[in-house]
Amino acid sequence: MLIYSNRLHVRPAALIAGVSLLCSVGTAHAAGVTDQDIINDAQTTADVVGWGIGPRGQRYSPLKTLNTENVAKLVPAWTFSFGGEKQRGQEAQPLVHDGKIFVTASYSRIFAIDAKTGEELWQYDHRLPDGILPCCDVVNRGAALYDNLVIFGTLDAQLVALDRDSGKVVWKEKLDDYKAGYSFTSAPLIVKGKVITGVSGGEFGIVGRVDARDAKTGELIWTRPTVEGHMGYLNGKESGITGELNATWPGDLWKTGGAATWAGGNYDPDTNLIFWGTGNPAPWNAHTRPGDNLYSTSTLAIDPDTGKIVWHYQFTPNDGWDYDGVNETIAFDMDGKKLAAHADRNGFFYILDRSNGKLVNAFPFVKQIDWAKGIDLETGRPIEASARAGDPSKSEDGKKGEVVFVAPSFLGGKNWMPMAYSPDTNLFYVPANEWGMDLWNEPITYKKGAAYLGAGFTIKPLFEDYIGALRAVDPKSGQIVWEYKNDAPLWGGVLATAGGLVFTGTPEGYLKAFDAKTGKELWKFQTGSGVVGCPVTWEMDGEQFVAVPSGWGGAVPLWGGDVAKKVKYLNQGGSLWVFKLPKA
């Protein structure tokens, strides 16, 4: 049966099997994902129902069937191809529930797969229009589950809710105008019955924001812009502008200020706050916009009930390097204190008091940082060095400012790929990269739907023997306990488990397992294409499984300059790999 609703493909055998299973188990099969299921996701081991494997985003599983003693025996259970010609940039985190795996793929596709057999149950291909403007490849990082719905966003800035069992569209909402540069690539977040989303498109002069909708209907509840001067709304009524008009933005530049919310967020039930990152201010040429340019390059702590910004912390005021601030902010406890951790693109690792956003500590997690000498722990502001590119308006030809070399590159000491935290070792496992860039500024004016940079760049590796480095970071001392060096950049998420393991993938095609305490490589498997997705684990029928998407792509081959040339031999792909221990 082939049903055209933006192309939905349901396999007949799978449909019949689903009906039979529904009849045999009754309401148990129809039970939807609840708010409590989402809150408990980090403790329950039979499923993975949200981004981050728990609302706090620690990416830690209490499973220990698979451990340091037996992980070397891990073998494929099955593999599933995403098919077609759309084989690139598979950055998703799979979800697992009720015997099904839900995984998004490039070009705004999503698949439902039988978790036992790897058989496709249904496939939904969103019909993308001509003229979409994705910044950093045609990626999608994942979906959200709520009730009997699976919800994901699309490259033309729509949010789609599908029936979990049939794959049919239940509701669909437009986030914004893709012709103006808006898109959507991150996994939605579910908080207390609301589906929370951001927007992508900071390189096109869009205005970032965070929205909350009724997860069952798609009806908009509140919206909170992330650039000063823009009005927020709650239940259809004005709920106050963000910040104070022109306090940190000159003239009308706030109207096209960027601060895209493209990497998604986490939720802390202890403080009832959503932690959401904001991207670079627009344009990149910082000489055009003197001031801190709030609330760009920040973590915002947002009340999920009202959309009010409770506190903020800005990592890179007046960002002139495209360092963004979208990387995840993870809730964790240390020494009896409720804290939050953030490894920023600017090269510094931040520890914040998650109740009020006050800086507790900050330290480097990469080897070379040129733009700042450190972070002032009293003010929370960076101590800048002389690493800003020149003002083109003061150059001889007025077309190109002075070129500087600065590290990290704009792709960051860490980009979107989420780190993991283990409460067993009290360490964060950070996928870091060592690279710098030649950077210069150029004149720029805003034009709807056109790139809004005002800068040029060439990314270069810093060291001959590696670019990527998986680093175990001690949040108390700021020390790197161990590191694994990788020739190509690391661009995938990390998973930690109670079995003493840390999993992550490499662009060279490997999924690898490391000893969480020592960093010793214990296992690897070649998937056939670069692993830039996020691994997950769960148990089923008494066995522990690990799954990860495989398919090289993302920002590095598109924007990576000399680094892209270095790794141009890597092959694209599109598949989901599932592993388990062989039965005795």
- Residue that has been written with the tokens 């924007």 in this structure: 559
Alpha-carbon gap, residue 274 to 266, rounded angstroms: 6
Phi, then psi, of 14 in degrees rounded to 5: -70, -40
Largest CA distance in the chain: 78
* Active-site choice (322, 370, 424, 465): 322
Active site residue 114: no
List, in sequence order, every residue forming a beta bridge with 275; answer none if it has no partner.
Answer: 266, 301
Three-state SS sequence of 228-239 = CCCEEEECCEEE
Amino acid sitting at position 6: N
What are 489's two structure tokens? 């950049």
Q: Are 427 and 516 in contact (CB under 8 A)?
A: yes
Alpha-carbon gap, residue 524 to 8, rounded angstroms: 35
Quick one: which H or E segment has residue 458? strand 455-461
| Alpha carbon separation from 470 to 465, 501, 544 (Å, rounded) | 14, 13, 24
Nearest CA to 417 out of 567, 558, 263, 522 is that of 263
Q: Are 345 and 327 in contact (CB under 8 A)?
A: yes
Name the region of 189 (left: φ>0; alpha: ψ -120 to 50; beta: rest): beta
Q: Are 453 and 444 in contact (CB under 8 A)?
A: yes
Q: Are 271 and 355 in contact (CB under 8 A)?
A: yes
Coil, strand or helix at 29: helix
What are 359's two structure tokens? 């800086």
Alpha-carbon gap, residue 549 to 492, rounded angstroms: 10
In 10 A of CB 450, how many CB atoms? 15
Quick one: which H or E segment has residue 224? strand 220-225
Alpha-carbon gap, residue 324 to 137, rounded angstroms: 17
Residues 6+ apart with CB under 8 A from 466: 434, 485, 486, 487
Alpha-carbon gap, residue 34 to 386, rounded angstroms: 51
Alpha-carbon gap, residue 414 to 430, rounded angstroms: 8
Coil, strand or helix at 254: helix
Quick one: which H or E segment has residue 566? helix 561-566
> First vs last Cα of the chain: how many Å apart?
40
Nearest CA to 80 out of 418, 551, 581, 557 is that of 551
- Active-site annotation, residues: 322
